[in-house]
């Protein structure tokens, strides 16, 4: 098979391939960019595999960076672009179930491709667009099947994160995990506990954002991988989340929205939400956003009505909270709540017409805890519409509070 119209990203990189092949070495485009091109999807990074050893690559190009030279990877810099070029290699010994203990450079493409995770990722493409398919990856791509290269147990022992990649690809591509591959995930799922949480987090987040998140979540549950991730989630809870993702017009579009959706479906309160997200090693910013949005969701679900203070408290995270509520709430008044938020007298305490310094200068209050209490009451009064946000009016109200 040959790709007739190469994407611009490949055309731009062709001089790299040409330089390598003209020097007598083999060079191919490999990895996700080849797969996505065949699927008609946009591509991002272009990766190159070659029979040339790192020192030989560095001798061919003026500008290179040793990004992973111990594993055969050299970044070639060309016209403002960087191209990761990796020598064909074999790997052995995976004591941490993540990275090889030993890498051996080879000249044979087949030796390199057979160490890759799935057949759809073991495709190579020559500069003329011709596809090299040694493991029936094209057939699997056409049939929507995710199959490990060779013995799936071996592939997962080499890198246990590949099991999470399997369910993630299932969600992103809508592919079915081949029976032997799925069975191997079930039997080796316990190895996921050896993988850093941060890496598992990345894969699960991508799964949630996949076009067929329901499929990925059900595979995540069925294979038993869910038992080896932070913050215990039961198979039943996963089924509930998966069912919600299958609702009409549901498509999660950001990490913040996706994780807000998850904690909301799990029914977690504020303390449990923070503990859950910390266990997943999320950033403080994401934890703050998700906790804030979920607090609003819980308030709305409990009361079916929200106050100005509720809207003010959720602030800019309202859009995330509303998007999650829309997924499961029938006839949800999103426009009404957006308008109510837009109409708030202030949206941040810094918009108050007076400050603590103003109170001190006017002799209303001395520095200390009382000043904070007065400002808090003024803030609440303005947000509720009970006080006018003007200096004179607020000073008068402050004097009454004292």
pLDDT single digits (tens) 273-290: 999 999 999 999 999 999
Domain covering 252-344: architecture: Up-down Bundle (1.20)
| Res. 86: pLDDT tops 70 | yes
Biggest CA–CA distance in the chain, Å, is 88
155 in a labelled binding site: no
In the chain the first and final C-alpha atoms are separated, in Å, by 82
Q: Coil, strand, or helix at residue 324?
A: helix
Beta-strand relationship, 102-105 and 145-146: unpaired
Model confidence at 93, pLDDT cuts 50, 70, 90, reads low
Assess if CATH 3.30.460.10 describes domain 1-143: yes
Average pLDDT, the chain: 93
165 in a labelled binding site: yes
Q: What residue segments make up the domains of the chain, in order of their start? A: 1-143, 144-250, 252-344, 350-401
298 in a labelled binding site: no
47 in a labelled binding site: yes
Note the pLDDT of residue 248: 64
32 in a labelled binding site: yes
Model confidence at 185, pLDDT cuts 50, 70, 90, reads very high
Model confidence at 330, pLDDT cuts 50, 70, 90, reads low
127 in a labelled binding site: no
Average of pLDDT values for 138-164?
A: 97
pLDDT digits (tens, 9 = 90+) for 196-244: 999 999 999 999 999 999 999 999 999 999 999 988 678 888 888 888 8
CATH number of 350-401: 1.10.246
162 in a labelled binding site: yes
Q: Which CATH class is domain 144-250?
A: mainly alpha
In angstroms, the CA 167 to CA 52 distance is: 34
Burial label, 335 (beta-carbon count in 10 A; 0-12, 13-18, 19+): exposed
| Res. 94: pLDDT tops 80 | no
pLDDT digits (tens, 9 = 90+) for 109-135: 999 999 999 999 999 999 999 999 999
2 in a labelled binding site: no
Average of pLDDT values for 43-48?
A: 92
- Give me the phi and psi of 101, to 5 degrees please: -75, -30
Entry pTM: 0.90
Q: Coil, strand, or helix at residue 150?
A: coil
147 in a labelled binding site: no
The more confident residue out of 79 and 193 is 193
Burial label, 8 (beta-carbon count in 10 A; 0-12, 13-18, 19+): exposed
């Amino acid at each position: 098979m040959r790709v007739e119209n190469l994407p611009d990203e490949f055309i731009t990189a062709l001089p790299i391939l040409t330089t390598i092949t003209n020097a007598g070495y083999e060079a191919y485009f490999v990895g996700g960019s080849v797969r996505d091109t065949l699927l008609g999807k946009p591509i991002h990074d272009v990766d190159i595999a070659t029979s040339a050893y790192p020192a030989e690559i560095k001798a061919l190009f003026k500008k290179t960076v040793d990004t992973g030279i111990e594993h055969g990877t050299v970044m070639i810099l060309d016209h403002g672009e960087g191209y990761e070029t990796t020598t064909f290699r074999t790997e052995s010994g995976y004591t941490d179930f993540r990275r090889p203990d030993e890498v051996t450079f080879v000249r044979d493409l087949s030796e390199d491709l057979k160490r890759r995770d799935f057949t759809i990722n073991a495709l190579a493409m020559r500069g003329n667009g011709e596809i090299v398919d040694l493991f029936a990856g094209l057939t699997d791509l056409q049939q929507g099947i995710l199959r490990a290269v060779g013995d799936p147990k071996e592939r997962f022992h080499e890198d246990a994160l590949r099991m999470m990649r399997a369910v993630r690809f299932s969600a992103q591509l809508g592919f079915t995990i081949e029976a032997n591959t799925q069975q191997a995930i079930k039997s080796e799922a316990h190895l996921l506990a050896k993988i850093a949480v941060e890496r598992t987090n990345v894969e699960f987040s991508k799964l949630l954002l996949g076009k067929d998140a329901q499929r990925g979540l059900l595979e995540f549950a069925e294979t038993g991988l869910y038992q080896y991730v932070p913050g215990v989630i039961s198979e039943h809870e996963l089924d509930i989340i998966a069912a919600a993702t299958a609702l009409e017009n549901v498509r999660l579009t950001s990490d913040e929205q996706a994780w807000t959706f998850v904690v909301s479906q799990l029914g977690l309160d504020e303390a449990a939400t923070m503990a859950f997200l910390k266990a997943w090693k999320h950033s403080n910013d994401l934890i703050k956003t998700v906790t804030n949005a979920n607090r609003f969701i819980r308030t709305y679900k409990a009361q079916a009505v929200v106050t100005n203070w509720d809207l003010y408290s959720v602030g800019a995270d309202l859009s995330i909270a509303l998007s999650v509520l829309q997924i499961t709430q029938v006839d949800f008044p999103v426009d009404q709540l957006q308008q109510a938020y837009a109409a708030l007298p202030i949206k941040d305490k810094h918009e108050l017409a007076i400050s603590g310094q103003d109170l001190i200068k006017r002799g209303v209050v001395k520095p200390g805890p009382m000043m904070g209490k007065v400002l808090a009451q003024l803030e609440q009064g303005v947000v509720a519409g009970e006080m006018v946000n003007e200096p004179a009016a607020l000073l008068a109200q402050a004097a009454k509070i004292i």
